Amino acid sequence: MKNLRGSDLRDKFLAFFKERAHLHLPSSSLIPRKDPTVLLTTAGMLQFKPYFMGLETAPATRITTVQKCFRTTDLDNVGHTPRHHTFFEMLGNFSFGDYFKDEVIPWAWEFLTVELAMPADRLWITVFTTDDEAEAIWRDKVGVPAGRIKRLGEDSNFWAAGPTGPCGPCSEIFFDFGPERGCGRPECGPDCDCGRFLEVWNLVFMEFNRDESGTLTPLPAKNIDTGMGLERTASVLQGVATNFDTDLFRPLMDLAAGKAGKPYGAGGKTDVSLKIIADHLRASTFLVGDGVTPSNEGRGYVLRRIIRRAVRHGRLLGISGTFLADLAAWVIDNYGGVYPELQQQRAFILDSLGAEEERFNATLDNGMQLFEKAVARHGGQTIPGEVAFELYDTYGFPFELTAELAAERGLGVDETGFHAQMNEQRERARQARERAGVTFKGASVRTAAPTRFLGYQTTTAQARVLEVVEQDDRHVVVLDQTPFYAESGGQIGDQGVIGLARVVDTQKQGDVILHYLEAGESPPAKGQTVEAAVDTARRGATMRHHTGTHLLHAALRQVLGPTATQAGSYVGPDELRFDFNFPRSLAPAELRQVEELVNSEIFRAREVRHEELPIAQAQAKGAIAMFGEKYGDVVRVVDVPGFSTELCGGTHAHNTGEIGLLKITEEKGISAGVRRIRAVCGGAALELFRRQWDVLAGLRDEFKVTTEEIPERVTRLRDQVKERDEAIRELKARAAAGRALSLLSEAREMAGLLVLAAVLPDADPDALRGAALALRDKLGDAVVVLGSAVEGKVNAVAAASPGAVGRGAHAGKLIGSVLGAMGGRGGGKPDLAQGGGGDPEKLAGALGQVPDLVSQQVSVRA
């Protein structure tokens, strides 16, 4: 066989199929851009779903790719087996209604046996149990002996990307390592998991679509979808026992081994840890490069888990300090030529991994102490759920990490108890939100029929009252149809009136819309027909902010790149808040650029299109979806042509010009890797400008200057105030020093030292410090402690001469004892220390203890 590096295998595969008229397309992102139902890209065919389904026309009927893939199903096996990985590369060739089995089967055989020179007698074939056609091609056209072709059932040889969607029978090609690697059974074959046979290529004959009932219907055309794992094929060609021993992993493990001072290859736990670090670090680098940031939800949780797992195994190896960024730099350098996004996002990747590693290192030691205590208390038993929850809630340990730690010691973890604790925390948070007036508690309604929502077309409607529920001091009304929008997707619920009763909030319970009446309002009677009318001014302001949020999201992605993905939002009549994943604060120039892009779209007065589409068609159109949101078969698409396309069920402006203007008011971090922008639109923006203009007008009148001259006048005033403050401090210090000299006579001799402790009224910390040093120098071998209470705040300073320090006096310990006696805190060096806080009424009494404290310090030294 040809001994090829991973990069050479990748190039050879693409060249082979480009010679056969295949268009080479780049890998799609690990974040499925058009498929919110999938957490991460798991196969090469995901980006081509619309082509297979006939919903979109492919740019060519023949395509070849090298696709980045990530699977979570094998995470716990990584490092313990030769082949399991989280991230891997899939070599693939695809036909969309062009060639089929007759062409792809001989091509696969040619590539393996001619281009890669794999021995033909080492290759075995499997086909679907009823696929006579594929078996005949392998046997009669290619020449594979019938004894090396095996028919297998649906579990092995019928492939689908998920429970629904494109699927079809497949034919797999296996490499035979020989009987010496097998189980020795006569019937051992490709379906045996003993390790003798390794699947290197899967040829999927994509010709069916499976619906939710499991029914198979033919696709518009017969298609080909193949996948060859780069890592496992490289291991065959390079003649190594595991994927980790190929050039795709070994240099990375050697780097980690060098940092640990432990070589790879000794076996045991060291090798397992090195493999886990190499796999998880490589995967983390690619995930962050595609815009995933560590968090406690969805993709971010997967990333956080593997980063922290890698860090822990670095600790197990004895690696001190941070190391992920150094290893990630190797991944970027070695893969950046194939995946340019890694180079483009280099700083983002290294910063994100470094920050997450530092955060976890900061809590890992304390968390491990808690875990070890739990092990000691529950040795040989199960770690309680409350301990696992505390590790998660306080120290950021994913439950899986706690379970892995426990398994290493032969213990289990109470997962049910952990989730019970999680649910209790969510309930406490919900109750806190209710107490703060953020939301209303869901009412217990019996109505099962879904409420018909009319709010996209109208803000008033006649409706029949289906149910009235009393809740605390208010009533909840359910109608058969309503124009009121129920809170969801970040947009708050509508207000308005039902009959004569005022509605203060609208919520959802399943598909039933709940109208909460203002406390004390009399509800309409069940069965009554009423007029339901939304507060149109409030709705209009909310719509402007919601459409503004979509424009803001699109602008952020243009300025910051696709890594700026939505993490949450609030849309109301008063403002919008938009949370997004990004590892750093935005520069003023970036914020200005984002704001200008949004307002440019507003000033163009573009039509905002709203349409309902089948979800597959919406995804094919490129609509951005929030992962974790539940979407039905038909979704609502909000589209500002050429700028923003998102799946959204909220209410929106009909034209961007209705927004008027968007002004960003704040940008800040709210958690690790998540930023928040606040902004106002329309009337809220006008009100902001009016308030700020009133402030400016007042300053103009006060200073008798123009608006443009205000900054210079404020700077001048600030400098003047600073000069005066410094002069006042100097005068106070002189006055304090003068008053302090009158205290010289109060110094007492104590064990051969002069000790002075006194209150110096109205002295700030600087004045106290200067006075204490002046008194110490005047007294010679002395210890001086001065305190003062200004506006109820205590400050104190202790100073000790060199001779006093030599005798055992320690100003830092002394000031700590004095302030500690009155509830304050302080400390410092042996010759000078300061502090503050505590009860001013106790200051004189605490200073009275100083002579005895000094005596104790000196006598201990003696």
Q: Which residue has the higher pLDDT, 359 or 596?
A: 596
pLDDT of residue 485: 97
Residues facing residue 223 across a β-bridge: 96, 206
pLDDT of residue 632: 67
Instruction: Specify the pTM.
Output: 0.62
Among 25-34, 536-545, 709-718, top mean pLDDT goes to 536-545
pLDDT of residue 355: 86
Q: Which residue has the higher pLDDT, 49 or 9?
A: 9
Whole-number percent of the chain with pLDDT over 70: 95
pLDDT of residue 424: 84
Q: Token match 């062409």: residue?
A: 103
* Phi, psi angles (nearest 5°) of residue 641: -50, 130
Q: Which of 420-434, 650-664, 789-803 has the lowest mean pLDDT?
A: 420-434
How would you classify the pairing of strands 793-800 and 825-828?
unpaired
514 SS3 class: strand
Q: Does the pLDDT value for residue 622 go beyond 60?
A: yes
pLDDT of residue 442: 57
- Segment 221-245 mean pLDDT: 95
pLDDT of residue 862: 53
Q: Which CATH architecture has domain 452-534?
A: Beta Barrel (2.40)
155 SS3 class: helix
Contacts of 388 (CB under 8 A, 6+ apart): 397, 399, 402, 403, 413, 414, 415, 417, 418, 421
pLDDT of residue 438: 41
**Chain region(s) in the chain for CATH 3.30.980.10:** 549-689
Q: Does the pLDDT value for residue 209 go beyond 50?
A: yes
Q: Does the pLDDT value for residue 621 go beyond 70?
A: yes
Token representation of residue 804: 């006093």
The 10 Å CB-count burial string (b at 16+, else e) for 800-838 is bbeebbebbbbbbbbbbbbbbbbebebbbebbbbbbbeb
Top-tier CATH class for 549-689: alpha beta
Q: Does the pLDDT value for residue 603 go beyond 80?
A: yes
Q: Does the pLDDT value for residue 617 go beyond 90?
A: no
Residues 243/248/251/256 CA torsion (nearest 10 deg): -70
pLDDT of residue 323: 94
Among 384-393, 462-471, 558-567, 611-620, top mean pLDDT goes to 462-471
Task: Report the distance separating Cα 658 and Cα 642, nearest Å.
Answer: 18
pLDDT of residue 860: 63
Token representation of residue 122: 């080492």
Third-level CATH fold of 728-861: Diaminopimelate Epimerase; Chain A, domain 1 (3.10.310)
Task: Report the distance separating Cα 427 and Cα 522, nearest Å.
Answer: 30
- Segment 219-228 mean pLDDT: 93
pLDDT tens per residue, range 86-126: 999 999 999 999 999 999 999 999 999 999 999 999 999 99
pLDDT of residue 752: 82
* Phi, psi angles (nearest 5°) of residue 469: -120, 135
- The chain-wide mean pLDDT, for the chain, equals 89
pLDDT of residue 626: 65
Q: Does the pLDDT value for residue 644 go beyond 90?
A: yes
Instruction: Write the burial class of residue 668 (CB in 10 Å: 0-12 exposed, 13-18 middle, 19+ buried).
Output: exposed
pLDDT of residue 861: 61
pLDDT of residue 443: 65
* Phi, psi angles (nearest 5°) of residue 664: -75, 130
Among 312-316, 404-408, 513-517, 725-729, top mean pLDDT goes to 513-517
Q: Does the pLDDT value for residue 725 go beyond 90?
A: no
pLDDT tens per residue, range 57-78: 889 999 999 999 999 887 888 9
- Segment 421-440 mean pLDDT: 62
Task: Report the distance separating Cα 614 and Cα 54, nearest Å.
Answer: 13
pLDDT tens per residue, range 338-354: 999 999 889 889 988 99
pLDDT tens per residue, range 289-303: 988 888 877 888 899
What single-letter amino acid sits at 728?
I
pLDDT tens per residue, range 759-806: 988 888 888 888 899 889 889 899 999 999 888 899 999 999 999 999
pLDDT of residue 629: 59
- Segment 515-520 mean pLDDT: 91
* Phi, psi angles (nearest 5°) of residue 447: -65, 130
Q: Does the pLDDT value for residue 437 go beyond 50?
A: no
Q: Provide the strand spans (E) within 696-778.
A: 748-750, 753-759
* 6-240: CATH number: 3.30.930.10
Confidence of residue 520 (pLDDT cuts 50, 70, 90): confident
pLDDT tens per residue, range 133-159: 999 999 999 999 999 999 999 989 999
* Phi, psi angles (nearest 5°) of residue 743: -90, -10
Q: Which of 27-31, 184-188, 400-404, 476-480 has the lowest mean pLDDT?
A: 400-404
Confidence of residue 130 (pLDDT cuts 50, 70, 90): very high
Helices 298-316 and 324-335: crossing angle, nearest 10°?
120
Confidence of residue 406 (pLDDT cuts 50, 70, 90): confident
Confidence of residue 631 (pLDDT cuts 50, 70, 90): low
